[in-house]
Amino acid sequence: MSYEKELAAAKKAVTIASRFCQKVQKVLLQSDVQSKSDKSPVTVADYGSQALVSYILEKELPSESFSLVAEEDSGDLRNDGSQEVLQRIRELMNDTLVSDGENKVLSAEDVLTAIDSGKSEGGPLGRHWVLDPIDGTKGFVRGDQYAIALALLDEGKVVLGVLGCPNLPLASIANTDQSSSQNQVGCLFYATIGSGTYMQSLDGSSHKKVHVSAIENPAEASFFESFEAAHTTFSLSGSIATKLGVKAPPVRIDSQAKYGALSRGDGAIYLRFPHKGYREKIWDHAAGCIVVTEAGAVVSDAAGKPLDFSKGKFLDLDTGIIVTNQKLMSLLLKAVQDSLREASSPPTGPSL
Ligand SMILES: Nc1ncnc2c1ncn2[C@@H]1O[C@H](COP(=O)(O)OS(=O)(=O)O)[C@@H](OP(=O)(O)O)[C@H]1O
Ligand SMILES: [Mg+2]
Ligand SMILES: [Mg+2]
Ligand SMILES: [Mg+2]
């Protein structure tokens, strides 16, 4: 199965949503940012991006029964107090659709319906699209990195992923040379199962196959982790890096842009250890996982098991997520397990 028409539809949807998010990030107002019931931020761009991707996928793939598992829902937007926010999303979306040559003007109800197409639960049977309309909303609000992450599950396996990273430079972020040709930002990573990973500029002007770093000596590796201390345990990744002899300081960036950057070798390792009690969602990893795996990486939990996307909205995993190339994985896994053991039973001092 080549998933050719699904890939074309997914690239179109993510490209349009990425341009939309770029536009909104430039003019983001305080009133565009709300708080969800779990206190995490959501913006007009999260809702608009989800509605755009869902609208475009359904339009481009009309014959398929459509199932979408996505992060946002329209609950809060249906409150009386949210009418202004809803109108703003509608206007911003219609501006984007017009500039992309679409002639349909969406009503407020069309916007809510498109957002609510994302209510599927996923699972092991059939096909499900998986969407994070803005991954790294905190980064988006700060003006930093974020990603539009879209994947396709087929019988519980990720078979396609597209990752729009509107703020990621086209040149390696490991490269400190800031000459003007390297300042262009906006990347689209995409992969289908068995076919490798490609990166193109968001405007489509350049295109290439990408591969993860081939580094074998961990002392030469650099590692990525979350920007937000609330999303991962810096002390644990620090201890793992020390055991591996990693010399470079951690590279902290928001969102699945980390998977994209890793897929083209900007760094060699990604470490993610959420604090106790947090459950990872499939939309935070599905697209990134296939993008980096098809570029040659291994993605696993702290027990060395691959991620299982067939269990519904949540990933059922042991402690954290680690990613590196095939040569470094066994060393990394050992360092992770040693560090976890030490963290759970810290060495006792000398007895008096
Ligand atoms: N407590 C906690 N622990 C771990 N992860 C959490 C937590 N809270 C939220 N999230 C999810 O993290 C998503 C963003 O992850 P990042 O790796 O981008 O984090 S960071 O922004 O770099 O800090 C973020 O994605 P978005 O909500 O799409 O922005 C969340 O799904
Ligand atoms: Mg969120
Ligand atoms: Mg996310
Ligand atoms: Mg999100």
Q: Best mutation site among 33, 231, 252 for ligand 1, i.e. most ligand atoms within 8 A of its Cβ?
A: 231
Residue nearest to ligand 1 atom 8, measured at CA: 231
Contact 139, 253 (CB under 8 A): yes
Q: What percent of the chain has pLDDT over 90?
A: 84
Bridge partners of 48?
none
Give per-residue pLDDT as tens, 75-125.
Answer: 999 998 899 999 999 999 999 999 888 888 999 999 999 999 989 999 999
Position 174 scores a pLDDT of 86
Task: Name the residue among 113, 142, 127 with its Cα closest to residue 52.
Answer: 113
Q: Which atom of ligand 1 is nearest to the CA of 252?
A: 22
182 falls in which pLDDT band (50, 70, 90)? Answer: low
Judged by average pLDDT, the poorest of 12-16, 30-34, 240-244 is: 30-34
pLDDT beyond 80 at 48: yes
349 falls in which pLDDT band (50, 70, 90)? Answer: low
Q: What percent of the chain has pLDDT over 70?
A: 96
Give per-residue pLDDT as tens, 227-249.
Answer: 999 999 999 999 999 999 999 99
Position 131 scores a pLDDT of 98
Q: Is 157 left (phi over 0), alpha (psi -120 to 50) or beta?
A: beta
Residue 269's H or E segment, with its range, is: strand 269-272
Position 38 scores a pLDDT of 84
3-state secondary structure of 207: strand
Averaged pLDDT of the chain: 94
Contacts of 241 (CB under 8 A, 6+ apart): 223, 250, 271
Question: What is the value of pTM for the model shown?
Answer: 0.95
Q: Which of 46, 254, 266, 301 is catalytic?
A: 46
pLDDT beyond 90 at 170: yes
Closest-approaching ligand to the CA atom of 141: 1
Rounded distance from Cα 72 to ligand 2 centre (Å): 8
Residue 348 a catalytic site member: no
Residue 308 a catalytic site member: no
Overall average pLDDT of the 122-147 stretch: 96
Q: Which atom of ligand 1 is nearest to the CA of 272?
A: 17
Distance, CA of 342 to CA of 337 (rounded, Å): 9
What is the interface pTM, i.e. ipTM, of the complex? 0.93
Concatenating the DSSP letter of every residue in 71-98 gives S--SGGGGSGGGHHHHHHHHHHHHHHHH
Rounded distance from Cα 136 to ligand 4 centre (Å): 6
Position 32 scores a pLDDT of 81
Overall average pLDDT of the 196-222 stretch: 96
Overall average pLDDT of the 298-302 stretch: 98
Q: Best mutation site among 168, 228, 251, 279 for ligand 1, i.e. most ligand atoms within 8 A of its Cβ?
A: 228
Rounded distance from Cα 350 to ligand 3 centre (Å): 45
Residue entry with tokens 């040379």? 177
Task: Name the residue among 128, 158, 171, 134 with its Cα closest to residue 291.
Answer: 158
Position 76 scores a pLDDT of 92
Task: Name the residue among 201, 171, 143, 266 with its Cα closest to residue 11.
Answer: 201
Max Cα–Cα distance, the chain, nearest Å: 80
